[in-house]
Amino acid sequence: MSETSAFAPLPEPPYHAVIFASLRRGPDLGYADMARRMMALAERQPGYLGVESCRGEDGFGITVSYWQDAAAVAAWKQQAEHLLAQKLGKARWYAHYVLRVARVERHYEGPEGRPH
Amino acid sequence: MSETSAFAPLPEPPYHAVIFASLRRGPDLGYADMARRMMALAERQPGYLGVESCRGEDGFGITVSYWQDAAAVAAWKQQAEHLLAQKLGKARWYAHYVLRVARVERHYEGPEGRPH
């Protein structure tokens, strides 16, 4: 991985963030495949800006996707719910999750300018 | 870890989120100690609501701290910068980081009601 490939681009604020915190449980049962599909679907959505994601060894993870505006978030929510509804249910993969929709007002980066 | 201990509480929106994405590099050099101090300091700040954090094996991590309002975020920023300035420099611990300040407008949780 390059030093910045895990970071989402930084468009001019304001933009929106969907913060998805989750605790995975049990065996994979198709989770990795679903997660890949979700990311591929997100990238094709209008207003998609990027995503940042990590999961620790304890199963707790955070994925933040970034969107141009509230309309893009709403459209993505509909698509994501449709995809999940086709699957065997969220309860299968997560012990618990919290999803927050937020408006990014400003950002900073460091410790030096981001290489491009 | 209990199934919900990694999750921050869910106060009534709106509230604020500070999304800190970072790529760690090199040896620890006091990083774990600094991170613990930062969390202890955050918990004592006025307007602190909670924190969620994870880091993957690739060194990329996301920490989201939640705050009552913009004033609480500003006060925390000042405290955090003061603490960091006393240390040997952020460049020592991070290959790159991005910090975003956002206003949480709504949230959901699942797959069932959160146990308390």
Tens digits of per-residue pLDDT, B2-58? 555 899 999 999 999 999 999 998 788 888 888 898 999 999 999 999 999 999 999
Q: Quick check: B64 and A19 CB within 8 A?
A: yes
Q: Quick check: B103 and A98 CB within 8 A?
A: no
* pLDDT surpassing 80 at residue B114: no
- Look up tokens 């449980």; give the residue: A25
Beta strands in A27-69 (DSSP E): 48-55, 60-67
* pLDDT surpassing 60 at residue B113: no
Residue A90: per-residue pLDDT: 54
Q: What is the pLDDT of residues A89-108, one digit of tens each?
A: 555 788 899 999 999 999 99
pTM: 0.90
ipTM: 0.89
Residues of chain A with pLDDT under 70: 1-4, 87-91, 112-116
Q: Report chain B residues whose CB lies below 8 A from the CB of A24.
A: none
Q: How many angstroms separate the CA of residue A35 from the nearest CA in chain B?
A: 16
Q: Quick check: A102 and B98 CB within 8 A?
A: no
* Residues sharing a CB contact under 8 Å with residue B12, sequence separation 6 or more, in sequence order: none
Q: How wide is the angle at C-alpha B54 spanned by C-alphas B25 and A53, nearest 5°? A: 85
Residue B68: per-residue pLDDT: 98
Alpha-carbon gap, residue B21 to B23, rounded angstroms: 7
Q: Report chain B residues whose CB lies below 8 A from the CB of A91.
A: 110-112
Q: How confident is the model at residue B112 (pLDDT cuts 50, 70, 90)?
A: low
Closest residue in B to A1 (Cα–Cα)? B58
Residue A115: per-residue pLDDT: 43
* pLDDT surpassing 50 at residue B115: no
